[in-house]
Amino acid sequence: MTGLSAIPSISELVKRAKAEFTAQFPGYEPTVVTCAPGRVNLIGEHTDYNDGFVFPMALPLVTIMAGCIDSSSSQITVATTAQTTDEPRVVQFESPKPGLPLTPGKPTWANYVKGVVQCFNLASIPGFKAVLVNSVPVGGGVSSSASLEVAVYTFLEAITEVSAPVLQTKALSCQSAEHKFANMPCGIMDQFISVMGKAGHGLLIDCRSMESTLIPIDDPDVSVLVTNSNVRHELTGSEYSDRRRQCYAAAEIMKVKSLRKATMKNLEDHKDKMDNITFQRARHVIGEINRTMDAADALKLGNYKLFGELMIESHNSLRDDYEVSCNEVDELVDSALECPGVYGSRMTGGGFGGCTVTLVKTDKVEAVVSHMQAKYSGNATFFITKPSQGAMVIEK
């Protein structure tokens, strides 16, 4: 279809990863191949670290890790093929031992690998060689970082034959790796959906209880369009930290454990006790938690009109109250909403660039993409996506 980018199949990526591995490590053969997806969040942004609800789906865009145990060494050597990452693109470090933990450093992409290895919670991890191949846009707001972390964790499970006791543990370990090694205080959503996604379904996640509900997204007459603005968001952690702090400050003023426990009435009652920015941040989160629950209910009933309206409300709130959008993303959302057949559109991910997600009638996709391309001042990339499977071992 004109304007739409093709998503490489997992089999294509596996073939590429194996070829890269044998070129990088002559004399070795990859015996373990794992896969973990990125995600698009349909609604529920910046609610996860406030104990709220999120509603993501796993993408067919994935990270592949192919490698083998190196029985002759305790060294871990990992190469990445992602050209947008910092150099060097091959790193080597000792497997962690009691009293000799790994520490973050340069290059920054390797910190995600090191963090997962360190947080794997096994006394001894064998040396190994591996290659990473990625189809998830780095910095695109569809969670290339969680995809990488979960692919690494799944690889470690395969080579050690030690699996997380429950899937939540696996997701939490990967989240801990990002907190400690990438200095990114993310919520649990990205790792959770990468671990637990299921083909044909979105996943409504309660970030307080860690319970989740699968909701079918399989109507052939409705499509999910992901548009990458190709404005790369480079979150240093300060944006998250600032907003987390503001949310926690609002919760403390209202004397609730988290904004999950607050209502709009609580917020209005305490408005005179907080500055305007803190008020706006809390207003977004409280409203977004309610919107996410309502949106999941609407989708169960096939009420795409209501779902789309809630997406639009979400974007406006993220733009105005949470202030995490940008001109390019707003431009894409606005142009999508000008098109017949579009139910709703919003930014997705942490913000400051990245992607938009649009719910659109399938027979209108081509016209919508053409219109968005014509109106956008930059060079956007368009993908039609289906809810995909979570992390898996492909070969062992």
Judgement on whether residues 100 and 20 belong to the same structural domain of the protein: yes
- pLDDT at residue 234 above 70? no
4 within a domain of the structure (yes/no): no
Quick check: 35 and 15 in contact, CB under 8 A?
A: no
Q: Which of 229, 243, 185 is nearest to 326 (CA)?
A: 229
**Per-residue DSSP letters for 110-150?**
HHHHHHHHHHT--S----EEEEEEE-SPTTSSS-HHHHHHH
Q: In angstroms, what CA-CA distances link 67 with 54, 58, 255?
A: 34, 24, 50
Judgement on whether residues 246 and 171 belong to the same structural domain of the protein: no
Residue 321: active-site member: no
90 within a domain of the structure (yes/no): yes
Q: Which of 13, 3, 329, 285 is nearest to 147 (CA)?
A: 13
> Which residues span the domain enclosing 288?
222-385
* pLDDT-based confidence at residue 235 (cuts at 50, 70, 90): low
pLDDT value for 237: 56
2 within a domain of the structure (yes/no): no
Q: How far apart are the first and last CA of the chain?
A: 36
Judgement on whether residues 75 and 185 belong to the same structural domain of the protein: yes
Report DSSP state, residue 8: P
Quick check: 1 and 118 in contact, CB under 8 A?
A: no
Dihedral sign computed on CA atoms, order 106, 144, 120, 33:
negative
* pLDDT-based confidence at residue 233 (cuts at 50, 70, 90): low
Report DSSP state, residue 58: E
Quick check: 136 and 62 in contact, CB under 8 A?
A: yes
Judgement on whether residues 254 and 164 belong to the same structural domain of the protein: no
Q: Which of 39, 43, 21 is nearest to 30 (CA)?
A: 21
226 within a domain of the structure (yes/no): yes
293 within a domain of the structure (yes/no): yes
255 within a domain of the structure (yes/no): yes
- pLDDT at residue 305 above 70? yes
Residues in the chain: 396
Average pLDDT for 50-62: 97
Judgement on whether residues 14 and 143 belong to the same structural domain of the protein: yes
pLDDT value for 187: 85
Average pLDDT, the chain: 94
323 within a domain of the structure (yes/no): yes
Quick check: 355 and 142 in contact, CB under 8 A?
A: yes
3 within a domain of the structure (yes/no): no
Judgement on whether residues 146 and 63 belong to the same structural domain of the protein: yes
Judgement on whether residues 242 and 145 belong to the same structural domain of the protein: no
Convert 280-302 to b/e letters by CB count within 10 Å (16 or more is b). bbbbbbbbbbbbbbbbbebbeee
ω into residue 107 within 30 of 0, thus cis? yes
Collapsed DSSP state (helix, strand, coil) of residue 41: strand
Q: Which of 315, 252, 313 is nearest to 282 (CA)?
A: 252
The one-letter amino acid code at 24 reads: Q
Please give the tally of structural domains in the chain.
2
Average pLDDT for 263-271: 97
pLDDT value for 367: 97
Q: Which of 110, 132, 130 is nearest to 13 (CA)?
A: 132
pLDDT value for 138: 81
- pLDDT at residue 348 above 70? yes
Q: Which of 76, 102, 74 is nearest to 91 (CA)?
A: 76
Judgement on whether residues 129 and 237 belong to the same structural domain of the protein: no
Judgement on whether residues 45 and 151 belong to the same structural domain of the protein: yes
CATH number of the domain encompassing residue 372: 3.30.70.890
Collapsed DSSP state (helix, strand, coil) of residue 230: coil
Judgement on whether residues 51 and 86 belong to the same structural domain of the protein: yes
pLDDT value for 2: 61
Average pLDDT for 90-99: 94
Q: In angstroms, what CA-CA distances link 250 with 194, 279, 359?
A: 30, 7, 33
Alpha-carbon gap, residue 364 to 342, rounded angstroms: 8
Collapsed DSSP state (helix, strand, coil) of residue 344: strand
Q: How far is CA 70 from the centre of its chain?
A: 31
Dihedral sign computed on CA atoms, order 192, 358, 182, 70:
positive
- pLDDT at residue 19 above 90? yes
Judgement on whether residues 371 and 343 belong to the same structural domain of the protein: yes
| Of 51, 70, 190, 321, catalytic | 190
Judgement on whether residues 103 and 235 belong to the same structural domain of the protein: no
Q: Which of 77, 81, 76 is nearest to 17 (CA)?
A: 81
Write the Ramachandran bin of 31: left for phi over 0, alpha for psi from -120 to 50, otherwise beta.
alpha
Q: How far is CA 362 from the centre of its chain?
A: 24
Average pLDDT for 351-380: 95
* pLDDT-based confidence at residue 11 (cuts at 50, 70, 90): very high
Candidate from 167-171, 252-256, 265-269 with smallest mean pLDDT: 167-171
Highest mean pLDDT among 160-164, 230-234, 306-310: 306-310
* pLDDT-based confidence at residue 123 (cuts at 50, 70, 90): confident
Quick check: 60 and 7 in contact, CB under 8 A?
A: yes
CATH number of the domain encompassing residue 15: 3.30.230.10
Candidate from 56-70, 175-189, 267-281 with smallest mean pLDDT: 175-189
pLDDT value for 100: 93
pLDDT value for 186: 84
* pLDDT-based confidence at residue 93 (cuts at 50, 70, 90): very high
